[in-house]
Amino acid sequence: AQSVTQLGSHVSVSEGALVLLRCNYSSSVPPYLFWYVQYPNQGLQLLLKYTTGATLVKGINGFEAEFKKSETSFHLTKPSAHMSDAAEYFCAVSRASGNTPLVFGKGTRLSVIA
């Protein structure tokens, strides 16, 4: 079975500071990994995904994540936080084969302080 652990249900950063949201996964087979963002009163939208190939993945709004198999991690980073980045972020995992649903982490709420 697959699972996702997001460390920290709430992260606060100052505007302009580095954003680091942590995600560790468990999967017995090669995983596909995703980060989704949820802005207030909206649905989720895809930030970035790792399927195969380059382990450093760039997404929208300046975010990126690196797949580290040895650490079973897929942490999300952004060099400089902006007020508009305040949202809830979800890491998700899916199997690389078969029709399998996404398994989501519990989410991390990012606050950006002016």
Tell me which residues in 87-106 interact with another protein (CB under 8 A).
Answer: 90, 94-106
CB of 47 to another protein, least distance (A): 10
Q: Is 71 left (phi over 0), alpha (psi -120 to 50) or beta?
A: alpha
Q: How many residues does the structure list for the chain?
A: 114
Beta partners for residue 110, in sequence order? 11, 87
Of 22 and 95, which has the nearer Cβ to another protein?
A: 95
Tell me which residues in 39-58 interact with another protein (CB under 8 A).
Answer: 41-46, 49, 51
Q: Taking CB under 8 A as the rule, does residue 22 contact another protein? A: no
Q: Taking CB under 8 A as the rule, does residue 26 contact another protein? A: no
Q: Taking CB under 8 A as the rule, does residue 19 contact another protein? A: no
Distance from C-alpha of 106 to C-alpha of 10, rounded to nearest angstrom: 11
Of 19 and 92, which has the nearer Cβ to another protein?
A: 92
Distance from C-alpha of 106 to C-alpha of 114, rounded to nearest angstrom: 26
Give the 3-state secondary structure of residue 5: strand
Q: By the criterion CB under 8 A, which residues form the site for another protein?
A: 9, 32, 36, 41-46, 49, 51, 90, 94-107
